[in-house]
Structure 1
Amino acid sequence: MKNLFLMTLWLTFQSLVVVVQKVSFPDACIGTWKDTMYMYKHGTLKDSVQVRLTVAKHTDPNAWAWKTEYLSAQRPAVKDYVLRLKDAAKNLYVTDEGGGLELTDYLVGNKLYSVFETGGFLLTSSYELLGDHLIFEVTSGKKETATHSEVATYATDNLQRVIFEKEK
């Protein structure tokens, strides 16, 4: 009897593990998220804005609508992107910003990373799902004077960060 109970318990646990593993990072993000983005320059808070992120399944089964709305009275903005799975074996995604612009994203565990350069600035972007929060961060900075010929360093001058909560 004890062995039957333990076997049933083990099988139940294994089936729960399979269910959890089938939910992809983007699928776990589906919904509407909202909170305040804080913007820092050289470690000092400079501004903040209410932000709403809406993640939804796309018509393409390997894509998700990824819409960010900056709810500012002075400078409202909308970034309506598509997150696409490019190579599941490599956990490789792309953020399609439209007009042929795609940023490469890598999923490691429950965190999606992107690193790119534009206008002389190196930017890092990440989304991390922690429990019932989705943390979004962007850092940016320019290349600093090299102190060694094999290594280039970049300043982290700016940080934008929001800890989203899912709307119910």
Structure 2
Amino acid sequence: MKHFLGVVFYLFFTISISAQTSKIFPDDFLGIYKGDLTINSKRGVQKIPMEFHLLETKTEGKYDYKLVYNGQPRNYTLVVKDKIKGIFDIDENNGIILPVRVVGNVLYSFFEVQGNMLTSRLAFTDDKVDFEILFTATKNKITTGKGTKEIPFVYGYPISVVQRAYLKKKN
């Protein structure tokens, strides 16, 4: 009987955990999120109000993806390429399209523009987004290692700006 109760408890617990983690991006995280963005750079620390909007559109496979910094909106479109594989694009609606990847409930991107590399990470939970952008200039590349088979060259890029926000869902 003890063994039976243990199995029942295990199954109940496993099903409960599965139900809680079976959210599908982006549909289960639509909404408007608000908070403050902290920008840490060589100039110091700055805080500005920030919003992130992820909303349905009338076009299947496309979502409004809006970043609002200090009241200034940047209107993008999130485009589904392969939802099962987590492959999406962020269309900046000006000819620039950034590839993004979703793993679990985290959206990642990595791109270079005008000699700068940026990586972004948006981690979604039920009512929050943990937003982060890391920035480095490619000209600041540091080379270490020996360039041999045993110890290859390794290129490092010192991070010069970290932007971070914890945004809470408002609707």
Deviation at 1:164, TM superposition (A): 0.3
Question: Contact 2:29–2:126 at 8 Å: present in 1 too?
Answer: no
- Partner residue of 1:62? 61
Describe how 1:10-159 pairs up with structure 2 within 5 A: 17=18, 21=22, 23-42=23-42, 44-45=44-45, 47-71=46-70, 76-143=71-138, 144-148=141-145, 149=147, 150-159=153-162
Stretch deviating more after TM superposition (76-85 or 101-110): 76-85
Deviation digits for residues 43-89 of structure 1 (CA, Å, limit 9, x no counterpart): 942x1111122211122221210112223xxxx42110111111234
Cα deviation for residue 29 of structure 1 reads: 2.1
26 and 43 in structure 1: CA distance in 2 versus 1, 3 angstrom threshold: farther
Alpha-carbon contact 2:87-2:99 (below 8 Å) kept: yes
Structure 2: runs of 5+ lacking an equivalent: 148-152
Question: What's the secondary structure of 1:25's corresponding residue?
Answer: coil
- Shift of the 17–147 alpha-carbon distance from structure 1 to 2, 3 Å rule, reads closer
Shift of 1:139: 0.7
Quick one: structure 1 residues 137 and 120, their matched pair in 2 at CA, closer, same or farther if it must change by over 3 Å?
same
TM-score (norm 2): 0.78
Using the TM superposition, give the Cα deviation of residue 145 of structure 1 relative to its aligned residue in structure 2, in angstroms.
2.8
The TM-score normalised by the length of structure 1 is 0.80
3-state DSSP of counterpart to 2:63: strand
When residues 161 and 19 of structure 1 are mapped into structure 2, their CA distance, relative to the original with a 3 A threshold, is closer
Kindly indicate whether the alpha-carbon contact (under 8 Å) linking 2:31 and 2:169 is maintained by their aligned counterparts in 1. yes
Secondary structure of 1:98 counterpart: coil
CA RMSD of aligned residues (A): 3.0
Residues in 1 aligned to 2:131 and 2:20: alpha-carbon distance in whole angstroms:
26
Q: Contact between 1:42 and 1:156, CA under 8 Å: does it hold in 2? A: no
Q: Which amino acid aligns with 1:90?
A: K
Structure 1, unpaired ranges of 5+: none
